[in-house]
Amino acid sequence: MHLTVITNPDEKSKDKYEIARTIYAETGATSLRVVEAFAAMIANAAAKCGTSAIDIVRDPARFDARYASSPRHARWHVSAASPAFQMCLRVAHKMLNGTLGDVCAGATRFHHDDELPDWAMALGYVADIEGILFYA
């Protein structure tokens, strides 16, 4: 008897959900505009670093919502059926397929308007979208 391990043929699907969950957790999916800008920022950072979008969202120095100490961590556990999460998922899909476009003026970093990280002074501020500040 020969056994074969069945694996998910679409490994990118797992990455898409993780990226969408990160976008949702950090933005709250308050509007399509902020979700698209955030996804574009992830794509820009991946291109600049020569890595994948999933590697960018797994960087603990960039996205603190993944961790229990973050005030946005509760959003990490959003239901996949939530309409707001589904919007993030569609935008993540567009970003991964290269059809999103750069709607954040080349930004590669961000922070929320209630914080000011040390690195922010050294980078050029390019946009403030719904309380998320983007830098290139």
Give the model confidence (pLDDT) of 23-82 as tens digits. Answer: 999 999 999 999 999 999 999 999 999 999 999 999 988 998 988 999 999 999 999 999
Count CA atoms closer than 13 A to 36's CA, side-chain side.
12
Q: Which pLDDT belongs to residue 116?
A: 92
The residues spanned by each domain of the chain are 11-104
Report the mean per-residue pLDDT for the chain.
91
Most confident of 7-16, 63-72, 105-114: 105-114
Q: How far apart are CA 95 and CA 52, in angstroms?
A: 11
- Quickly state the pLDDT bin for 6 (edges 50, 70, 90): low
* pTM for the structure as a whole: 0.89
Sheet holding 125-129, edge to edge: 109-112, 132-135, 125-129
H helix or E strand, kind and range, residue 112:
strand 109-112
Q: Which pLDDT belongs to residue 124?
A: 84
User: Other CB atoms closer than 10 Å to residue 17's CB: what's the count?
Assistant: 15
Across the chain, how many H-helices and E-strands are there? 4, 3
Which tokens in the block code for residue 3? 């056994």
